[in-house]
Amino acid sequence: MSKHIIVIGAGFAGLSAATTLAQRGCRVTLLEKNEGPGGRARLFRAEGFTFDMGPSWYWMPDIFEQYFARFGKKVADYYDLVRLDPSYQVIFKGPEAVDIPAAMSELRALFERFEPGSGARLDEFLRQAAYKYKVGIGKFVHMPGRSLLEFADPHLLIDALRLDLLQSMHQHVRKFFKDPRLLELVEFPILFLGATSENTPALYSLMNYADLALGTWYPMGGMHKIVAGMVALAREQGVQIEYNVPVEQIMVEKGRTTGVQTAAGFRAADAVIAGADYHHAEQHLLAPEWRTYSEAYWDKRTMAPSSLLFYLGVNKRLPNLRHHNLFFDEDFGRHAQEIYENPQWPSRPLFYVSAPSQTDASVAPEGCENVFLLIPVAPNLPDPEETREHYYHLIMERLERHCGTSIRDAVVFKRSYAHQEFRDDYHSYKGNAYGLANTLRQTAILKPSLKSKKVSNLYFTGQLTVPGPGVPPSLISGQVVAGEILKEL
C-alpha cells in the first residue's frame, strides 16, 4: 500500500510538495484552513474587480517552466504568460518618472544616460549576476540545508567562493555604479529580502539578473492563475485537497507523528509536511516536548518586512501609470532603516503600485482601474485603522500628483490589509509578509531545518525554511522537502 502523506497548507510550497509526492506514488491529502488555495497568493472579487491578494511580480520564468516540466506539462497548458515592456516604472526624487525597458540595448542606454560609462559596467555586473543565478538557483537552492556535507563537493566549494557571500550588496553595487538612481534601481529587490544592502550578501545580485535580464512577466487573468494551474496539476496527479480544514494539532507518539487532529477528527498519516507558518506549526501545533526550537529562538530571528496593503477599485482610468510602479521619491535609505534597524512606521514611506488593468482588461470593469498599493513596513507593529488611514492619504496624495488627477473621489471599492490580517489568515509570525530575512546568518543550514529534529517523520516547507522567501523559492522548497521524504520512506 502506498504511503499516506498529509500536507498542511495549500500555498505554493504545499502544492508543490503534494504534487511531487503524488507523482511518485504517494497518497497525498492537502489540508487548507482557508476557503481556497494559494496562501498569500489568494484572490478575491468585489464590485466587478478581481484582486490578487499578495504576490504581483512574476520573475524567474524558468523556475515555473521547470516545475511544470517535471510533470510533462508547460506553463502554456495552464495560463497565458506575457512579458511586460516596460518592465516597470520608477518614480525617483524630483519627481522623475523613468520606464525600465525590457530590451537590453535600451536598458544599457538608460544606464548610460544616468551615468556615462555605466552601460558597459552594467554588462559586467549582469555577467557576474548571471553566474550567481546559474549556481545559486540551479544548484544551491535545491539543497535541503541539513548538513555541511552537502557542500563537500570541491566543485560546489569553488562555486561558493565565487558567489560573493562575504561581500555585501552595498559594497558590490558601488563597484559598478555611483548615480543614486542606479543604486536605488539595483538595490530595490533587497528591500523585500529582509535586510539593508549593508547586511545582505552580494550573492543576491542574482535578483538583478532575474529582474533586468530575464524580465518581468504577467499571467493573463492575474497571479492566481499560477495557483489555479498548480491546483489543476495536483488533482491530475491524484492529490486530495480539502478547504476550510484547519489543523489543530500534529499528533506524535514515540518520536513519530501519527497524523493530525482537526475539528472533524483525527487524520492518520505516515508523514506530515507543515506548509503553514513554521513558527505556528512548531509552537502551536506540536506539544512542547516535540519542538525543535524555543520561543526565544524565534524571537531572535530577523524577519523580512510586513506590508500595509490597499486594494482599490477606481471608476476611471488613471494616466501616467504602468503595470508596476515604484515610488522612490522619498529617502530610500531612511525607509530601509525604519524597517530593519529602528523598526517603526516610516515617516515618509516608499511605496509600490500595481495596476494590472493596464495590461489585463479582465481584472476590472470597462473604463475602470484595478489598483494595488503596498508599503513595506517593519513586522510586529500595531496597525489600527487610524494608522492605516493616515498612510492611505499620505501615499494617495503622491499618487494623485503623479497621475495628475484626483483618485480618492473615484474609489468605489477599498480594502486594507496589514499585520493583523497576516496573522489571522496565515498565522504569520509577527505579522510578517515575506518570511525570514535573507541575511548570511540565516542562509542554508542556518535556517530553521526542513526536517524536525525530534519527530522523525515531520517536515516543514515554505518561506521560513530553505531556500527562502518568494514564489519561485517556495516552489523549489516544496520539491526539496518532497525529495527528502522520498529518500526516507
Sequential DSSP letters for 432-483: -SS-B---GGGSGGGSPPSB-SSSTTEEE-STTSSS-SSHHHHHHHHHHHHH
Question: What pLDDT is attached to residue 152?
Answer: 66
The answer, yes or no, to whether residue 327 has pLDDT greater than 70, is yes
Question: Model confidence at 49, in pLDDT bands (50, 70, 90)?
Answer: very high
Choose among 133, 87, 8, 130: nearest CA to 481. Answer: 8
Task: Clarify whether residues 187 and 225 are in a common domain.
Answer: no
Question: What pLDDT is attached to residue 194?
Answer: 67
Question: What pLDDT is attached to residue 149?
Answer: 75
The torsion angles phi and psi of 305, rounded to 5 degrees, stand at -65, 165
Task: Clarify whether residues 171 and 114 are in a common domain.
Answer: yes
The answer, yes or no, to whether residue 83 has pLDDT greater than 70, is yes
pTM over 0.75: yes
| Residue 91 located in a structural domain | no
Q: Is 131 left (phi over 0), alpha (psi -120 to 50) or beta?
A: alpha
Task: Clarify whether residues 207 and 225 are in a common domain.
Answer: no
Question: Model confidence at 85, in pLDDT bands (50, 70, 90)?
Answer: very high
What's the number of domains the chain is made of? Answer: 2
Question: What pLDDT is attached to residue 398?
Answer: 98
Average pLDDT over residues 172-195: 90
DSSP helix/strand/coil, 326: strand
| Residue 479 located in a structural domain | yes
Question: What pLDDT is attached to residue 233?
Answer: 98
Question: What pLDDT is attached to residue 154?
Answer: 67
The answer, yes or no, to whether residue 1 has pLDDT greater than 70, is no
Question: Model confidence at 18, in pLDDT bands (50, 70, 90)?
Answer: very high
The overall average pLDDT reported for the chain is 95
Question: What pLDDT is attached to residue 58?
Answer: 98
| Residue 318 located in a structural domain | no
Task: Clarify whether residues 199 and 225 are in a common domain.
Answer: no
CA distance 171 to 95: 27
Question: Model confidence at 407, in pLDDT bands (50, 70, 90)?
Answer: very high
The torsion angles phi and psi of 270, rounded to 5 degrees, stand at -85, -20
Cell of 92: 525617483
Task: Clarify whether residues 138 and 198 are in a common domain.
Answer: yes
Question: Model confidence at 355, in pLDDT bands (50, 70, 90)?
Answer: very high
Residue 31, domain extent: 4-45+61-70+221-301+438-488
Question: What pLDDT is attached to residue 98?
Answer: 98
Task: Clarify whether residues 180 and 202 are in a common domain.
Answer: yes
CA distance 442 to 298: 12
| Residue 282 located in a structural domain | yes
Q: Tens digits of per-residue pLDDT, 133-163?
A: 999 898 889 999 998 777 766 665 667 667 8
Task: Clarify whether residues 114 and 204 are in a common domain.
Answer: yes
Q: What percent of the chain has pLDDT over 90?
A: 89
Q: What is the CATH number of the domain that holds 241?
A: 3.50.50.60
Task: Clarify whether residues 134 and 283 are in a common domain.
Answer: no
Question: What pLDDT is attached to residue 423?
Answer: 98
Question: What pLDDT is attached to residue 368?
Answer: 98
The answer, yes or no, to whether residue 7 has pLDDT greater than 70, is yes
Question: What pLDDT is attached to residue 160?
Answer: 66
The answer, yes or no, to whether residue 186 has pLDDT greater than 90, is yes
Average pLDDT over residues 385-402: 98
CB 281 within 8 A of CB 460: yes
Of residues 108 and 138, more confidently modeled:
108
Last residue of a domain, one of 165, 190, 212: 212
Q: Tens digits of per-residue pLDDT, 198-232?
A: 888 899 999 999 999 999 999 999 999 999 999 99
Question: What pLDDT is attached to residue 200?
Answer: 87
Q: Tens digits of per-residue pLDDT, 274-295?
A: 999 999 999 999 999 999 999 9
Check residue 214 and report its DSSP letter. I
Task: Clarify whether residues 239 and 160 are in a common domain.
Answer: no
| Residue 40 located in a structural domain | yes
CB 274 within 8 A of CB 415: no
CA distance 69 to 479: 13
Question: What pLDDT is attached to residue 195?
Answer: 73
| Residue 310 located in a structural domain | no
CB 91 within 8 A of CB 325: yes
The residues, ordered by sequence, that sit 6+ positions from 28 with a Cβ below 8 Å of its Cβ are 4, 5, 6, 7, 18, 19, 21, 22, 238, 239, 240
| Residue 457 located in a structural domain | yes
Task: Clarify whether residues 122 and 192 are in a common domain.
Answer: yes
Last residue of a domain, one of 149, 178, 212: 212
Question: What pLDDT is attached to residue 487?
Answer: 94
Pairing of strands 411-417, 306-314: antiparallel
Task: Clarify whether residues 207 and 109 are in a common domain.
Answer: yes
Average pLDDT over residues 455-476: 96
Task: Clarify whether residues 131 and 198 are in a common domain.
Answer: yes
The answer, yes or no, to whether residue 479 has pLDDT greater than 70, is yes
Last residue of a domain, one of 178, 212, 246: 212
The distance from CA 204 to its chain's CA centroid, rounded to whole angstroms, is 14
| Residue 460 located in a structural domain | yes
Of residues 198 and 310, more confidently modeled:
310
